[in-house]
C-alpha cells in the first residue's frame, strides 16, 4: 500500500488532514531491542514489574514504532514492551498497521501511568506488558507475560456484565461512543482505530485470541497470543525454540486461510482458522 492508498482510507473515515509526505512514510520504522538493566530498574520503581512476575525482566524487549494518529499525523513515539520471542512479530505488526492506515491514539510506556491500567485506558493509551493480575481476579494477566496487547481502549472498551445484566464499561468515555460496533451507520462517519478491522492482521503476527470474541467480559481492545498453557510454554523455552513453535503456529493459521480461501465470509473464515490454530497449539 502506498501513500495514495492511505489517503483514500483516510478520506473514507473522514480524516483529511494527512500531513506527512510520501518520503516521510517511506522512512517510517519499527524496531526492537532487549530491555536494559536500567529500564528494568525503572519498571521496578514504577511497580510495573515485581520479582514475583511470571516472566523475568531479562526476557522482555521493547518495540519502538511509528504510527498514525487521528488527523493523519505520523508519530514516532510508539513503544510497547513484550516477551522477547514476540518482539519481531510485534514490530512487523505495527509496521503493517501503519501501512494500512490504522489509527492509534497513542502508545506510551505503561510506567508513565505507574502501571495503573485504568489510567492508561482513560488516556486511550495502547499498551502491552504490565505485571498485574487479570481484571477482577488474582491470576496473572497475559500482560504480565508480555503476551497481550490492548489497542485503542476508548474505541475498544472492556465491558463486564454482572449477573443482573448491568454493564460496566471501561473506560467510561467509551459508553456513548464505542458500544455500538457497527462499521457503517447512516449519516455517521466511520470511527478510526476499531479493533474489528485488524483481527486478521494480529493473528497473522501471532496474536490469535481477541477479547471481542468473548461473551463476557467482552474486551474489544485485548489481543493475546494464545491460551495460558501455550504462553507458559513459550516462556519456558529458550528464544530459538520458542520462535520455532511460534512461527509454526502462525503458518498453521495462514495455511488454513489459504485452504479455505473460497469461504467468502471473513468472519466465518477468521473463526474457523483461529479455532483450528488454537486447537493445534502445543502445551508442553
**Residue-by-residue DSSP string for 56-88:** -GGGEEEEEEEEEPTTS-EEEEEEEEEEGGGHH
Per-residue pLDDT at 6 exceeds 70: no
Output DSSP code: residue 124. Answer: T
Calculate what percentage of the chain has a pLDDT beyond 70. 90
Looking at residues 210-214, what average pLDDT do you find? 97
For 257-270, the pLDDT digits (tens) are 999 999 989 999 99
* Joined grid coordinates for residue 145: 507475560
Helix (H, G, I), strand (E, B) or coil at 139: coil
Please state the rounded mean pLDDT for residues 121-147. 91
28: confidence class by pLDDT, cuts 50, 70, 90: low
If phi over 0 gives left and psi between -120 and 50 gives alpha, with beta otherwise, what is residue 124? left
pLDDT tens per residue across span 148-165: 999 999 999 999 999 999
* pLDDT at site 4: 43
Q: Look at residues 279, 229, 232, 225 and name the one whose alpha carbon lies nearest to residue 247.
A: 225
DSSP state letters, 160-222: EE-TTS-EEEESGGGTTTTS---S-BTTBPPPTT-GGGGHHHHHHTT--EEGGG-SSSEETTE
Q: What total of structural domains would you count in the chain?
A: 1
Q: For residue 9, what pLDDT is reported?
A: 43
Of the two residues 71 and 195, the one the predictor is more confident about is 195
The mean pLDDT value for 15-39 works out to: 64
Tens digit of each residue's pLDDT (9 = 90 or more) over 32-79: 999 999 999 999 999 999 999 999 999 999 999 999 998 889 999 999
* pLDDT for 134: 79
- Residue 187: CB atoms within 10 Å: 4
Coil, strand or helix at 94: helix
pLDDT band for position 10 (cuts 50, 70, 90)? very low
Q: CB 90: neighbour CB atoms within 10 A? A: 26
How far apart are the C-alpha atoms of 157 and 218, rounded to whole Å? 8
Edge-to-edge order in the sheet of strand 148-150: 148-150, 222-224, 209-210
pLDDT band at residue 200 under the 50/70/90 scheme: very high
Statement: residue 245 has pLDDT above 50: yes
Question: Cell numbers of 187, please?
Answer: 449519516
Question: Where residue 31 falls among pLDDT bands split at 50, 70, 90?
Answer: very high
Average pLDDT value for residue range 120-142? 90
Q: Find the mean pLDDT for residues 90-111.
A: 96
What is the pLDDT, as a whole number, of residue 133?
80
* Cβ–Cβ < 8 Å for 40, 58: yes
Question: Mean pLDDT over all residues of the chain?
Answer: 90
The predicted model scores a pTM of 0.89
Domain that holds residue 242: 3-280
Please say whether the beta carbons of 253 and 95 come within 8 A: no
Q: How far is CA 182 from CA 187, 188, 189, 241, in A?
A: 13, 11, 11, 41
At 129, the pLDDT band (50, 70, 90 cuts) reads: very high
Amino acid at each position: 500500500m502506498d501513500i495514495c492508498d492511505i489517503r483514500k482510507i483516510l478520506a473514507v473515515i473522514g480524516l483529511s488532514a494527512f500531513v506527512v509526505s510520501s518520503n516521510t512514510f517511506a522512512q517510517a520504522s519499527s524496531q526492537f531491542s532487549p530491555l536494559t538493566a536500567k529500564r528494568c530498574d525503572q519498571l521496578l520503581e514504577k511497580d510495573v514489574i515485581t520479582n514475583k512476575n511470571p516472566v523475568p525482566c531479562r526476557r522482555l524487549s521493547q518495540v519502538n514504532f511509528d504510527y498514525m494518529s487521528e488527523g493523519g499525523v505520523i508519530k514516532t513515539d510508539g513503544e510497547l514492551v513484550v516477551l522477547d520471542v514476540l518482539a519481531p512479530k510485534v514490530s512487523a505488526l505495527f509496521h503493517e498497521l501503519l501501512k494500512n492506515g490504522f489509527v492509534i491514539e497513542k502508545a506510551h510506556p505503561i510506567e508513565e501511568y505507574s502501571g495503573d491500567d485504568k489510567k492508561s485506558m482513560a488516556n486511550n493509551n495502547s499498551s502491552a506488558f504490565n505485571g498485574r493480575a487479570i481484571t477482577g481476579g488474582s491470576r496473572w494477566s497475559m500482560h504480565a507475560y508480555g503476551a497481550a496487547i490492548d489497542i485503542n481502549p476508548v474505541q475498544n472498551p472492556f465491558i463486564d456484565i454482572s449477573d443482573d445484566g448491568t454493564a460496566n464499561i471501561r473506560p467510561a468515555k467509551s459508553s456513548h461512543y464505542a458500544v455500538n460496533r457497527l462499521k457503517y451507520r447512516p449519516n455517521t462517519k466511520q470511527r478510526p482505530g476499531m479493533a474489528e478491522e485488524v483481527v486478521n492482521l494480529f493473528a497473522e503476527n501471532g496474536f490469535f485470541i481477541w477479547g471481542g470474541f468473548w461473551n463476557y467480559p467482552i474486551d474489544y481492545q485485548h489481543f493475546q497470543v494464545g491460551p495460558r498453557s501455550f504462553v507458559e510454554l513459550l516462556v519456558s523455552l529458550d528464544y530459538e525454540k520458542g520462535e520455532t513453535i511460534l512461527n509454526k503456529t502462525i503458518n498453521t493459521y495462514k495455511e488454513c486461510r489459504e485452504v479455505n480461501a473460497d469461504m467468502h465470509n471473513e468472519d466465518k473464515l477468521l473463526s474457523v482458522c483461529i479455532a483450528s490454530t488454537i486447537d493445534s497449539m502445543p502445551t508442553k
